[in-house]
Amino acid sequence: MTATLEIAYANEIAAYREARTANEKQRAWHRLERAHILGQLRFGLHIRSHLQMLGFAVALRDGREIFGQLGRLALAPLGNLTGRLPIGNTGRAHVSAFMPMEIPEELQRQIIDAGAEN
């Protein structure tokens, strides 16, 4: 993993924490989704993004999201191991865990610059 990708991921997590502290739930979820996209191709970051989402869902008492994150935590190792990940997927429970999604342009640039593209 390149330091560049890890820094970009850490910046998104920091922005998530800032939004969560400010009680800006929508912005917090948006930053977690961005962190997931950045970390998806790296097993450790991928799992950490789902753990962060699970923790936030628990704090919000969002049963659907908790259940969705538990399922994704079970699927993520298999996806990373086989290389069969839905690239660009935001990692949230309201989207299929198998649906690839378009990666926002600025995140795509960060992934390419880090040499982490699949």
Per-residue pLDDT tens listing for the chain (118 residues): 468 899 999 999 999 999 999 999 999 999 999 999 999 989 999 999 999 999 999 999 999 999 999 999 999 999 999 989 999 999 999 999 999 999 999 999 999 888 776 5
pLDDT at 3: 86
pLDDT at 1: 46
pLDDT at 113: 84
Each domain of the chain, given as residue ranges in start order, spans: 3-113
**Backbone phi, psi, residue 41, to 5°:** -85, -5
Q: Which residue in 78, 75, 34, 77 sits closest to 52, CA to CA?
A: 34
pLDDT at 118: 55
Q: Please identify which residue in the block is written with the tokens 């690839």.
A: 100
pLDDT at 13: 98
Query: What does R_g of the chain's alpha carbons equal in angstroms?
Result: 13
